[in-house]
Amino acid sequence: MLVICVDDAKQNALGVKEIVRGHVYTVRAVTEPDVLLLTIFGRPLDELGILLVEVLRPSNDPELGEIPFGAYRFRPVDEKRLAVLRKAQAPTDEVLA
């Protein structure tokens, strides 16, 4: 499933943005809300998390595993519409006279 980032305001602990608003990412997994992560990051109890193919976010604590992004930061992408846009932007072999 493809998603587009709509919220890149938060940064990681080093002050680096890990995702960019307007970029399209591939969902690797959807995670259930986790009480420990909710406590650490102050997320709502009903918020799902998303793991992305393009971005790995290992935690310093092996027991935590990978830290998901909040699902609210993304919206689904219609893959058919995206294909049309990619085709329109693709270079052509036509030579204008």
Q: Which two tokens stand for residue 85?
A: 């846009």
Domain boundaries, the chain: 2-89
The Cα–Cα gap between 77 and 89 comes to: 17
pLDDT in tens, the chain (97 residues): 899 999 998 877 777 889 999 999 999 999 887 655 565 565 666 778 899 999 988 877 777 778 888 888 999 998 777 777 777 777 776 666 5
Q: Which pTM was predicted?
A: 0.72
Query: Between β-strands 24-31 and 49-52, what pairing exists: parallel, antiparallel or unpaired?
Result: antiparallel
